[in-house]
Chain A
Amino acid sequence: MINFVLLISRQGKVRLTKWYSPYSQKERSKVIRELSGLILARGPKLCNFVEWRGYKVVYRRYASLYFCMCINADDNELEILEIIHHFVEILDRYFGSVCELDLIFNFHKAYYILDEILIAGELQESSKKTVARLIAAQDSLVEAAKEQASSVSNMIAQVTK
């Protein structure tokens, strides 16, 4: 099971956090501090895994952004490495060649996408197409809702609900 997902920049700035196991706000900042110290200091040729407090943290670097996932000791590290890549590929497809800036400004969208891939710390969908379709459906609905916000049909829909 994945305990948390962490996106940090090379300067140690937090870009995205998602916690699947309970951590208090204090623990969270401690975790982030510890891990960014641990991971950012590692050289390029070393393992993409770090053993940490009885857990394993799998990380992968894309440009200046580190994607980290913390897993239990008996999970398959290579698989997690690929789940990270899976996530990045979907982000890439969604944003059209994704860059760090996209994630900074659209972090809530990144959350929506992550929610379609992982749920409760487990991989729920391994098909890129399915995820993309769901996200697109949500987006189109959002757009439609924006347009219809004050339209008559919307009011009727609300009354009949």
Chain B
Amino acid sequence: MEQLKTIGRELAIGSHGGWGQSKEFLDLVKSIGEARSKAEEDRIILREVESLRRRIAEPDVPRRKMKDYIIRLVYAEMLGHDASFGYIHAVKMTHHDALPLKRTGYLAVTLFLSEDHDLIILIVNTIQKDLRSDNYLVVCAALAAVCKLINEETIPAVLPQVVDLLAHPKEAVRKKAVMALHRFYQRSPASVSHLVSNFRKRLCDSDPGVMGATLCPLFDLISADGNSYKDLVISFVGILKQVAERRLPKTYDYHQMAAPFIQIKLLKILALLGSGDKQASGHMYNVLGDIFRKSEQSSNIGNAVLYETICCVSSIYPNAKLLEAAAEATSKFLKSDSHNLKYMGVDALGRLIRINPDTAEEHQLAVIDCLEDPDDTLKRKTFELLYKMTKSTNVEVIVNRMIEYMINISDNHYKTEIASRCVELAEQFAPTNEWFIQTMNKVFEHAGDLVNVRVAHNLMRLIAEGFGEDDEGAESQLRSSAVDSYLRILREPKLPSLFLQVICWVLGEYGTADGKYSAAYIIGKLCDVTEALLCDDTVKAYAISAIMKICAFEIAEGRKVEMLPECQSLIDELSTSHSTDLQQRAYELQAFLCLESQAVERVMPLDASCEDIEIDKNLTFLKDFVQQSIENGARPYIPESERSGMSNVSNFKSQYQHEASSHMLRFEAYELPRPSPAHVIPQVSVPTPIADLVPVPETTYNSKTSQASKLPSVTDASSAAHGLKLHLDGVQRRWGRPTYSSSSGPSSTTSTEKTTNGVTHIDGVSSQPRDKLNESRRQQPEVSAEKQKLAASLFGGSAGKTEKKATSTQRAPKGNTRNAERPGATRSVSPETSKEKAAPSVPDLLDLGEPNPTSTTIVDPFKQLEGLVGPTPVPSPLDNSVKTSGLETPDLMAAVYTDLPPSGSSSGSLGSTIGDMYSADKTSNTATSAPSIKKGPFPQDSLRKDARARQVGVTPTGNNPNLFKDLLG
């Protein structure tokens, strides 16, 4: 029996088992399949790679063999191993004339090479040749390679040919040429900017596939600059209408939907074009309404189109009727049992509430269900929704929820995101100072290393400046509560570095401000911080600066500062630190302690962080000095722009070097030479040692000498040794690369800057992000007014979570007044809540709700474009569609307008795809799905295949009996 089996297997393999592969390859795959562990798999592949490395380099490998080797290399690479030694053979294979080999070669290089690989230059020539081939399949293969391999530098080499191919008689070639141009646009928009008209032309291509492909580049172009394409709105609407009316060939139907992928792409484009454009949106209302009416909720693809329509409706200029339909569809999503649809529903709801916050009201229970769902994806989406609808009355509930969730996850990427959202919401809507500080503490404690440094700076700024009220009392109360909580938190053993920085800064500024804590106590705490586990140099710098500030305040008050022993030891430790910054601060502090109280008060005024620092960019205070120097014979400063003529020679050199370093072929003309100021600066300040060294007259050498000789002078510093070494330097400098010594001047100035600025260093940091925050505040007003309205409805009168709500509404939040001042509510559609505010906009909206004026304008262009998609649409498919959809259409309309869920019977036959998603667990659906897709398991076929598999003895995963089941169930 055993023998028989092996014989059968040998036979099967001998005849290539019908799979067209060599025995070795089959063996390889088989052994990989039987590998028990990743390590074993790696061992097998490594052995295979080694043998391939040997055999592929042999002379005169037969072509078929080589093809097999290449495919095995692809396999090894796919499993994550390095096969770079074979790349060159794959490249060679693309040169072959025989199509099978050429295709294999192209497939391998597209999988092997990234767009900046050195070997690509060897393929460009082949691609150019193949793009001119008579055989359209060769051209297709080349175009596929173009999409993957051509980089910014090689675009010009193939661009003309690709453009020519846009007029190729074969639609497959035209389609790929369009996609290739799209890829070029993504790589470098400038390279194809003059070809945009070609895309417009291809939009009217007779083949719907080409038209569909053209939508991809157009989508990108429109999202970059929508205004130049407003004239296409009517065409897009026309196409969408034709697609929705099933005028495209039947082959584009997918699960009884008419070309859904093209519909989705069109809807995306319309959403871009209609956003904020009342006129353009007007053209779309009719067709969008049609799509809603025809929508099919029973199949997955129908829902995909429906979701895209909701997105489109919520993006274009609002129309009451369409929004109503969108809300209806969204609520169906939310009520669905499928998690996928719930997810889409939550997302759609997030879009709708931006226009009308009331939409969320009826879904609060559904939303809370999603929030409590065990599915992480759904939960995160719901948090995103909550984030969008946060306002001052519900901020506590939402932020607390977010933090609770944040603490329990380990995914750093998402943790960062949710932490920054918490911070943002807390900054915007905090009801009280205590709550704000507590929230920030929690965020920093659990995600301190993940949040942006800017957040910490904002927090320090907020504590320093308060929330913008003029109430001094509230401010100092905020500060002292911050100090209290930080002193408490310092007892925790492990705190993130960023949080420690904030704590140190706040303690330094305000630790002794209210007189509750003695200076010695605070200094002691700060010393403890520097001994903590996670204390890095930055924290130490913050801590020592904080100590310095506290000492300064004490001295200014006229009190004597006794130095604590641990503080003294800290100073000692830091003044010998390897970090010059820490050393500097330590020495400054020591110097500080010896100063008089008046001087100290001037240098370190109380609460200096709130003072604005004026920066004199023109350096006017230096004018006298400059004037004096010029009078004394110094050369005046020449601005960079005027210096250009002086350094052509050296400039040429640098250009050449640049050329050499990039060592890529360039297809464009050389740039005009640009001046490089780096070479000029040393020339101005020629150091003296050069005088006894330079017999070289040319300026280039001159400047180079100065550069090179400066380097040792900086490092060595001993002038005697310098003189001895000079000749050696000369040799080195003549052949060596230009060094960075020209920066020695600037570097010394920066260090002096530091000494002068060192004291106010931290303050400077905290003042910098102020602008950013202001900016972000300015951006908010659009949303926040709507958010307020929404939350009142969402958490105002629900049955869901009353306790939390009550507490949050009781408190009269400060943020409220601030938010109310903001302009907003312009896009609000809810007439009853914003009647007075948005009085002028409401009639506008109602206007748009009337389809009559717009419909007349749409009819004409539609007729113009009727022939656009070509002669293919015939009356018969139309009839067909009427027949097939005759039953559903009224049903669905009824469903949309009377709130009936789609009947179960229709979803049985049409919606089998939803069930398909879980095809692994179900078997009962196969019967229904097979006829609906008009293919599926052919029992004989699979039997034969099973037999074959058994013959070959390939059992990749013996422990899993499901493996050989057909994928489609």
Contacts and interface: CB of A to CB of B under 8 A. Distances in A.
A7 to B, nearest CB: 10
A9 B936 CA distance: 21
A22 B114 contact: yes
B98 A145 contact: yes
Interface in A137-161: 137-138, 141-142, 145-146, 149, 158, 161
Contacts of A105: 17, 19, 21, 26, 29
B964 interface: yes
Contacts of A29: 80
A92 B935 contact: yes
Contacts of A53: 413
Given A89-B933, A126-B252, A142-B100, A47 B209 contact: no
Interface in B916-969: 916-921, 933, 935-938, 941-942, 945, 949, 954, 956-957, 960, 962-969
A17 B78 contact: yes
A120 B216 CA distance: 11
Nearest to B78: A17
Given A82-B304, A92-B935, A101 B340 contact: no
A26 to B, nearest CB: 9
A45 to B, nearest CB: 7
A158 B134 CA distance: 12
Interface residues of A, number: 81
A29 B82 CA distance: 11
B889 interface: no
B862 interface: no
Interface stretch (B50-58, B372-380, B533-541, B614-622): B372-380
Interface in A105-161: 105-108, 111-112, 115, 119-120, 122-130, 134, 137-138, 141-142, 145-146, 149, 158, 161
Contact of B966 (A25, A97, A106, A126): A97
B964 A111 contact: no
B14 interface: no
Contacts of B283: none
A126 B212 contact: yes
B307 interface: yes
A24 B115 CA distance: 11
B261 interface: yes
Given A16-B78, A127-B209, A141-B99, A93 B969 contact: no
Given A100-B963, A119-B179, A142-B99, A51 B377 contact: yes
Tell me if B's interface is mostly helix, strand, loop or mixed: helix
Most interface-central of A47, A98, A106 (chain B CB within 10 A): A47
Interface in A1-55: 9-11, 13-14, 16-18, 22, 24-25, 28-29, 32, 44-54
B103 interface: yes
A88 B967 contact: yes
B80 A25 contact: yes
Contacts of B115: 22
Contacts of A124: 175-176, 179, 209, 212-213, 216
Interface stretch (B140-148, B423-431, B779-787): B140-148
Contacts of A60: 917
A104 B29 contact: yes
A70 interface: no
Interface string B255-276: 1000111101000100000000
Contacts of A93: 935
Interface residues of B, number: 108
A79 B260 CA distance: 9
Interface in B312-355: 339-340, 342-344
Which of B80, B186, B212, B343 has its CB near the most chain A CB atoms (within 10 A)?
B80
Contact of A76 (B135, B304, B933): B304
Contacts of A79: 260-261, 264, 301, 304, 308
B259 A62 contact: no
Contacts of B212: 123-126
B172 interface: yes
B377 A49 contact: yes
A76 B920 contact: no
A61 B264 contact: no
A149 B98 contact: yes
B74 interface: yes
A32 B114 CA distance: 18
B935 A138 contact: no
B609 interface: no
Contacts of A149: 98
A137 B141 CA distance: 13
B33 interface: yes
A99 B414 contact: no
A4 to B, nearest CB: 12
Contact of A61 (B71, B104, B919): B919
A119 B74 CA distance: 19
B339 A76 contact: no
Which of A24, A28, A108 has the most chain B CB atoms closer than 10 A to its own CB?
A108
A50 B378 CA distance: 9
Contacts of B968: 62, 88-89, 92, 97-98
B179 A111 contact: no
A146 B16 CA distance: 16
A50 B300 contact: no
B913 interface: yes
B97 interface: yes
Contacts of A88: 967-968
A131 to B, nearest CB: 9
Interface in B684-709: none
Contacts of A10: 960, 962
B87 interface: no
Nearest to B71: A108
B303 interface: yes
Given A53-B413, A88-B967, A44 B182 contact: no
Contacts of B945: 97, 99, 101-102
Contacts of A97: 935-938, 941-942, 945, 966, 968
B251 interface: yes
B791 interface: no
B304 A63 contact: no
B18 to A, nearest CB: 9
A122 B378 CA distance: 26
B84 to A, nearest CB: 9
A51 B933 CA distance: 31
B949 A28 contact: no
B765 interface: no
Contacts of B301: 78-79, 82
B251 A130 contact: yes
B33 A47 contact: no
Contacts of A78: 300-301, 303-304, 307, 340, 344
Interface string B77-96: 11110100000000000000
A92 B17 CA distance: 20
B964 A101 contact: yes
B467 interface: no
Contacts of A122: 179, 182, 213, 216
B894 interface: no
A159 B957 CA distance: 50
Given A64-B920, A112-B107, A122-B182, A104 B414 contact: no
A107 B179 contact: no
B941 A47 contact: no
A27 to B, nearest CB: 11
Residue in B33, B111, B175, B968 with the greatest tally of chain A CB atoms within 10 Å: B968
A63 B962 contact: yes
B259 to A, nearest CB: 6
- The 8 A-B residue pairs whose C-beta atoms are closest, nearest first, are A78-B304, A62-B967, A129-B251, A126-B261, A29-B80, A46-B375, A127-B251, A120-B147
Given A25-B82, A47-B375, A145-B100, 4 more contacts: A48-B340, A63-B965, A79-B301, A92-B936
8 contacts: A46-B377, A47-B340, A63-B920, A78-B304, A97-B942, A99-B942, A126-B260, A158-B97
